Chains A and B, each alone.
Chain A
Amino acid sequence: MPAERSYIERPRYSCALSGAMTTVSALPRGVPILHAAPGCAGNTTWTQMGGGALQVGGYCGALTVPGTNVGENDVVFGGERRLREELEHTFEVIDGDIFVVVTGCVPAMIGDDVRSVVNEFHDARHAVVVADTGGFKGNSYYGYDLVLEALFRQYVRPEVAKVARRVNLWGVVPSWDVFWRGNLAELRGLLRSLGLEVNAFFTQDDSARAIREAASASLNIVVSDVYGVRPAEIFRELHGTDFLQIPMPIGPAASAEFLETVGERAGVTRRRIAAAVKRQTRAYFGYIETLADCFADMDLQRYAVVIGDANYATAVPRFLVEDLGWLPELVVYTDLLEDEAKAALARRHERIAEPLRPKVVFETDSEQIVRHFRELVPEGDGDRYQRRFSPAFVVGSSLDRRFAATIGAAHLSVSFPVANRAVLDRGYAGFSGSLRLVEDLLSSIVAGR
């Protein structure tokens, strides 16, 4: 994080350990083993209860995760003995396919040699992976990266033959993208429409066995400019598979481009790509066409502010501008980002031509968003003919409801925290995902009808 900051207001994520725990819980029969202080699992669980769109846990998640719950004695004498004991009994009690020891701040600070303890247990019966995820190392998106990296180094079988048309898919972060399951399913569907075989790691169609063989992929796809990028680089180094980095597509325009870019890179014939684009585009507009009357008669075009993480703040504005014909004039990235990542994300919006190109800001503090907005749209002085940002919509998180109310805008929670919605298999990626987004945006406008 930038060194000059002394605080972050209401961080829209938790720590590296927390993200690592939820990521492992999302793996097929994945079991996180926390080597951490007693509250770390609970903090993650409560955070999910609050912001996770009513999804908590998983096969082995929330308070069910094994953990050492290190205390004051361990701080003094080291936590290795406790970890050894915990691992020994974990295999007696817990049934799973991928066990990952994730470490919290306290063991990281007291310098426990976690890896050598874990190595005692690494045998044919159970592979145990270690991810060094001391919470102070970064946020929960970073925890996702650290788990992937650990899997690539310690779990994925090296030196396997590449299989043509087999791809790995990363960049959608379980739990912290509350639509992760739906998004991954949509993206898998897109890739399958090109005849590709997809290993997405975290869906119900994935398995530990396939993850073990992930090095057989001939291409990796990272649908993010930030999440999963560093692991993909490491994967390339370790397993020799190159990766394609492309934003998570939402809507027919971005999804068509996604299919074309990926298809070309994966060696899919132009004809097959064109057919996949055509079929899915037609399906999208087959639904949209019945909206035309109400869209016009009810004046459903909106000015918009989009506030979100690196994936949503990139993908949603593009969809609003190019497909829905809305006017997203301010885009706010709420992630903690390095300058390089900020520049890459800002460039994504340059494809939108003036005068439609939104103003892009990087702001972690919710209360400061209104200030950025006022720089764009000064507060009215009551003049009948002043420029108004109305009718307006805020696509953000549940923390942005106050801002939306301040500027008189409708609101939809999309990016974490999503306290005020229930989400299970819904996703916004792809062609049909964007239909869900249209439904949700417009339902929010007409709810009081």
Chain B
Amino acid sequence: MSERGTKSYFELLLPPKRETRLKPCTAYGGTLCGLRGGGAACLDTADRAFTQGSICLLLPAIGTISSLPNTAVLMHGAIGCGSSMHASTASMRSGSLVRRGAAVDSLWFSTAMNESDVISGGEQKLERALVEIDGRYAPRTIVVVSGCVPGVTGDDVEGVIARVQPSLSARVLPVHCEGFRTKIWATAYDAYYHAFGRYLFEAPPGAPPPDQARAQRTVNLLNVSSMGRVDELELERLLKLLDLEVNVFPVFADPERMYEVTRAGLSISTCPTHDDYLLTHLEERYGIPSVLRHMPIGIGNTGSWLRDVAARVGREAQAREIVAREEAELRFALERFRPVLEGKTVLVSAGEYRALATATLLSELGLRILAVRTFHHDEFAETEYETLAARAGADLTLNVANCQPFEEANLIRRLKPDVFLGHYAGNATASKLGVATHTIYNVGLNYVGYKGAYELAGRLYRQLKNPAFNRRLAAHAALPYRKGWYASEPFAYIRNQGEAEGAGRT
């Protein structure tokens, strides 16, 4: 990915949406094989004639923004936009407890745009809200997160901020999350990285001068709140074995010290879906090279991830030793779970990288992958598809879907997996079908690195040992689908899907 000509995206008022930047696809049903080799079958024009509830970029965006210390989040929109903060608050409390020793609630507000604001626009209200919140709550930073309503009324949020900023103590920055603008909620990461880059990367007066020696041994470890502290600790452990110091960014990062991200020797992504926008900027603007290829979920993946890092800092031999030792220890430890896990069938559903990497890990643990569902597809995941195909075979079912549990229910009924791993708020369908379930993402649990592989195996062992909760549920609870739906082809409502060999579409 290179930025547009000589002009960086970060010089634009708004980041481009991913539809424009990456041509991602959100609707595909077929086989893994059908998607390989440039993704010819998964087109950005594909969509569905029937769709179910989804999320928008606002949700993952505030998931991270709500974690920033000394920060107020001001939702600019209708009264309900961002009420998912009630969920983010739980992560903020547990995350601040493990990082700083105290459970802290997120501080957030809504401009609660009403019918008259819809007519007159919300700029005046936003301006007054900024002044009043600054005076009454004295946060160090205020992040204005705008939703659909000001997007339609055309509020000039940047203009309001520029006008009012000189009279405020808090630093104010805008993050644009108008849900109707993009189907790719991963645009959320671009949205806030864009704002952080434009407003917070300059070192403030009085900041310590850059320390070259320290910068050389410091690496940025990117976490957009898809990992909890337990996962960070595992990656920090591995990076320390390479004599590196770690700066975790941006989750729980103090906005006033975010400039530190520009003073590292290397940036390391834990998920290319999340981080390419920022890492390109850090490379081009600050000359910080980056590693953006593997997600450290899975035994082989973790080794590849660590070796990529080591190659950039000239410690390949060290990495080889570490990987060999860690793998040997882990494989010995995993033996106790193998009798239960070996040969069990599984269906995985999550963000593209997460789903693919987790499927690879499950395959390493001895499970048989029946199908993978991913929220979207873009070019970054090609290597991950190759890795999975090599392990699990290219004929496994692939379904690209921004949630769409009706396709999932159909697939589960057909494939009858022993266990299902789904994303946040995405396991109930499988539960009601009686399949053992485990969450593929929970910031309280360990997934990444070698320890994560062990912990995940332990949790699956536990779920498979007694799936009575779901078995009993399935016997007595119904999903709202017509019988005829289960008899239909699972991807019947996908249209404009490209034709590729083995795409398996009827």
The answer to the question of A296 belonging to the interface, with a C-beta cut-off of 8 Å to chain B, is no
A417/B86 in contact, CB under 8 A: yes
- Chain A, 1-60, CB within 8 A of any chain B CB: 1, 3, 5-11, 13-18, 29, 31, 34, 37-47, 49-51, 56-57, 59-60
Asked if B59 is an interface residue, CB under 8 A from chain A, the answer is yes
The bracket for how many chain B residues form the interface is 35 or more
**Chain A positions within 8 Å of B118 at CB level:** 105, 109, 136
Q: How distant is the Cα of A41 from the Cα of B87 in the complex, in angstroms?
A: 14
Q: Which one of A11, A16, A37, A60 contacts B56 once the chains associate, using CB atoms below 8 Å?
A: A37
What are 14 A-to-B residue pairs whose CB atoms are below 8 Å?
Answer: A8-B110, A9-B107, A38-B179, A38-B183, A39-B59, A43-B58, A47-B87, A49-B87, A49-B424, A63-B54, A136-B117, A138-B114, A402-B105, A417-B89
**CB of A207 to closest CB in B, whole Å:** 15
Q: Does A120 belong to the interface (CB within 8 Å)?
A: no
Interface string of B79-115 (1 = CB under 8 A from A): 1111111111110000000000000010111111111
- The CA-CA distance from A283 to B110 in the complex, in Å, is 46
B299 sits at the interface (CB 8 A): no
CB distance from B111 to the nearest CB of A (A): 6
Task: Evaluate contact between A69 and B51: CB separation under 8 angstroms.
Answer: yes
A interface residue numbers (CB < 8 A to B)? 1, 3, 5-11, 13-18, 29, 31, 34, 37-47, 49-51, 56-57, 59-60, 62-72, 74-75, 85-86, 89-90, 92-96, 104-106, 109-110, 134-140, 336, 367, 399, 401-402, 417, 419
Cross-interface CB contact of B425 among A29, A31, A62, A67, cutoff 8 Å: A62
- Which stretch of B251-259, B326-334, B474-482 is in the interface? B474-482
A66 touches B52 (CB 8 A): yes
- Could you say which of B126-134, B266-274, B363-371 contacts chain A? B126-134
For the A-B complex with A7-B110, A105-B152, A109-B152 known, give 12 more contacts whose Cβ atoms are closer than 8 Å. A1-B79, A6-B125, A11-B79, A13-B83, A29-B480, A40-B179, A47-B80, A50-B85, A66-B53, A72-B180, A92-B50, A137-B114
Tell yes or no: B55 within 8 A of A by CB.
Answer: yes
Contact of A37 among B79, B87, B148 (CB under 8 A): B148
Interface centre among B52, B82, B485 (most CB of A within 10 A): B52
Note all chain B residues with C-beta closer than 8 A to A34.
53
A389 CB, nearest partner CB in chain B, Å: 23
Say whether B128 contacts A94, CB under 8 Å. Answer: no
**Across the interface, do A105 and B149 meet the contact criterion of CB distance under 8 Å?**
yes
Residue ID in chain A nearest B482 by CB atoms = A95
Q: Are A39 and B105 in contact (CB under 8 A)?
A: no
A40, A44, A64, A68 — most chain B CB neighbours (10 Å): A64
Let me know if B74 is at the binding interface, CB within 8 A: yes
Docked pose: A293 CA to B309 CA in angstroms: 67
> Is B52 touching A41 in the complex (CB atoms < 8 A)?
yes
B406 & A71 in contact (Cβ 8 Å cutoff): no
Quick check: B116 and A39 within 8 Å, CB to CB?
A: no
Tell which of A6, A38, A60 touches B54, judged by Cβ atoms closer than 8 Å. A38
B426 at the interface (CB under 8 A from A): yes
Per-residue interface assignment for chain B, residues 366 to 400, with 1 indicating a CB less than 8 Å from any chain A CB and 0 otherwise: 00000000000000000000000000000000000
* Shortest distance from the beta carbon of A330 to any chain B beta carbon, whole Å: 20
User: In chain B, what residue has the closest Cβ to A67?
Assistant: B53
B375 to chain A, nearest CB (A): 12
CB neighbours (8 Å) of B479 from chain A are 64
Alpha-carbon distance A225/B111, docked complex (angstroms): 26
Cα–Cα, bound, A86→B493 (Å): 11
Indicate if B12 sits at the interface (CB-CB under 8 A): no
A-B contact count (CB 8 A): 250
Query: A69 CA to B158 CA in the complex, in Å?
Result: 27
A94 lies within 8 A of B424 (CB): no
Give the CA-CA distance A64 to B481 in the complex, in Å.
10
A6 touches B129 (CB 8 A): yes
A135 touches B89 (CB 8 A): no
Q: How far is the CA of A17 from the CA of B149 in the complex (A)?
A: 14
Nearest to A10 among chain B residues (CB) is B108
Quick one: which of B54, B129, B425 contacts A39, CB cutoff 8 A? B54
Contact B87 A46 (CB under 8 A): yes
Contacts A64-B429, A135-B79 hold; do A50 and B149 have CB atoms under 8 A apart?
no
User: Chain A: which residue is nearest B86 at the CB level?
Assistant: A50
B403 is an interface residue with CB less than 8 A from chain A: yes
Chain B residues lying within 8 Å of A92, measured Cβ to Cβ, are: 50, 482, 484-485
A1 and B112 contact, CB distance less than 8 A: yes
Bound form: Cα–Cα A110–B90 in Å: 35
User: Given contacts A62-B53, A399-B105, are A89 and B493 in contact (CB under 8 A)?
Assistant: yes
Q: Kindly list chain A residues whose C-beta atoms are within 8 Å of the C-beta of B87.
A: 46-47, 49-51
Which residues of chain A are within 8 angstroms of B185 by Cβ–Cβ distance? 38-39
Most chain A CB within a 10 A radius of its CB, from B148, B402, B426, B429:
B148
- Say whether A71 contacts B180, CB under 8 Å: yes
CB distance from A41 to the nearest CB of B (A): 3
Does B46 reach chain A (CB closer than 8 Å)? Answer: no
With A38-B54, A42-B53, A43-B80 as contacts: A136 and B183 at CB distance below 8 Å: no
CA of A329 to CA of B259, assembled, Å: 49
Q: Are A5 and B112 in contact (CB under 8 A)?
A: yes
Counting from the closest, the 8 A-B pairs by CB-CB distance are A39-B56, A15-B80, A41-B53, A42-B55, A50-B87, A50-B86, A89-B50, A46-B84
Q: Which residue on B lies nearest to A43, using beta carbons?
A: B84
- Given contacts A10-B108, A42-B84, A94-B482, whether A37 and B179 have CB atoms under 8 Å apart is yes
B55 CB contact (under 8 Å) in A39, A56, A70, A138: A39
Query: When the two chains form the complex, which single residue of B59, B111, B137, B481 contacts A6, counting CB atoms closer than 8 Å?
Result: B111
Q: Known contacts being A64-B480, A93-B50, is A17 close to B80, with CB within 8 Å?
A: yes
- Asked if B51 and A7 make an inter-chain contact with CB atoms under 8 angstroms apart, the answer reads no
